[in-house]
Amino acid sequence: MPRLLRMPEVAAGATEAVLAEWMVAESAEFAAGGTIATVETDKALVDVEAEDAGVLLKTLATPGAHVEVGAPIAVLGQPGEAIGDLGALLAGAGAGPAAPPPATPVRGRVYASPLARRMAKQSGLDVATITGTGPGGRILRRDVEAASAAPAPARPAAVRPADGEIPHSRARQAIAARLVESKQTAPHFYLRATARAGRLAALRAEINAGPPASRVSVTDLVVKAAAAAHQRVPGMNVIWTPDAVRTFGTVDVAVAVDTDRGLVTPVLRDVTAQTITQVAARTQDLAARARDGRLRQDELEGGTITVTNLGMYGVEEFAAIINPPQAAILAVGAVRDEPVVRRGAVVAGQVMTVTLSVDHRPVDGVTAARWLAALQELLENPVQILV
């Protein structure tokens, strides 16, 4: 018997999502556990998987459509089965009309599915040069595949870029809303410390002298140090909720990753239970999938602190905005050469500055200061990070 496939609640509390692309054509069969469609949230792409094998009899929503959670997006059935009276099927299930196609694109804006954008980037193609065959001229996977197979056009002469506007993406709008919410509702205070980083740099160099698979970054070491500091000062491993301060038995740390869709913060689970090479491998995996838009929604939720590092750009220090509902964010500056005092003498050394932004509702100043002192000790004596 034909049945409706509905838009799932891919993110906690979400009321709608964007149908990014159908991965199965109408009348095509799919296997149990196979991906039928891809849904786009503010921060990730989520695969809609089939519970049982069947056939996609009819799609009810077009790529790019905003669909309410629970609304029908397709009719599924068995091979050889017919839909029959679609109106009666929808009415019997208490479903409203199918989602309308997206509006005709505004001039100057390029509409493309996230999968098509990723494929174009991997192929070195500019999506603005690809002709879309989807609804409203939307660029789909098949359009990128066709463009990749076509001969490359002659490179035009360089021209001066014209003034213009870049429309807000869903991800950029979500980021902006969360940052405004954070600054308006979470009373931030800031603590800064400068740690001697010579031993940290030496430890990293020693680890990276081993097999390529064991390479670690400064961020990886700081993530491990932050998790260890949470163990030493558990009063920082909390979040604020309307009814209570929630505490946690394990330490989950988010890491800021820059992507074409904006900044995302995937979460590393139970960091203290992982080795430094496991943290590095997991971070690399999350960062790669974040840039491809392939993170799961659950990988973007949780954690009590975020680590964000701009040191690779030469930034010496900065203050970051807390990612709610987390209690803190640690901004990491570059490891730099500076004079330091050692045994009463001024000598050349390496230092790094870290700035801790804290939500004053669940965390008091003394607790944050104790945590930052613990972090500084761990960064200056990094062997403790590994045990």
Can you tell me the distance from the alpha carbon of 187 to that of 152, in angstroms, rounded to the nearest whole number?
A: 54
Closest by CA to 243, choosing from 366, 361, 367, is 361
Task: In whole angstroms, give the CA distance from residue 265 to residue 287.
Answer: 9
Torsion of CA 111, 117, 123, 127, to 10 degrees: 20
Q: Strand pairing partners for 356?
A: 191, 330
Six token digits for residue 225: 């140090």
Alpha-carbon torsion, ordered 49, 54, 59, 60, to 10 deg: -80
Q: Report whether 235 contacts 363 (CB < 8 A).
A: yes
- Cα distances from 299 to residues 41, 265, 296, 379, in angstroms, run 13, 9, 5, 27
358 vs 321: CA distance, rounded Å: 9
List the Cα angle 278/279/285 in 5-degree steps: 90
- Are the C-beta atoms of 372 and 328 separated by less than 8 Å? no
Say which of 168, 188, 230, 360 is annotated catalytic. Answer: 360
The sign of the CA dihedral 328, 267, 7, 175 is positive
Please count the other Cβ atoms lying within 10 Å of the Cβ belonging to residue 98. Answer: 20
Instruction: Assess whether 230 carries a catalytic annotation.
Output: no
Cβ atoms 224, 279 nearer than 8 A = yes
SS3 of 247-293: ECCCCCEEECEEECCEEECCEECCHHHCCHHHHHHHHHHHHHHHHCC
Q: Number of C-alpha atoms within 13 angstroms, CB side, residue 341? A: 1
- Using alpha carbons, select from 14, 65, 74 the residue that is nearest to residue 44: 14
Active site residues: 360
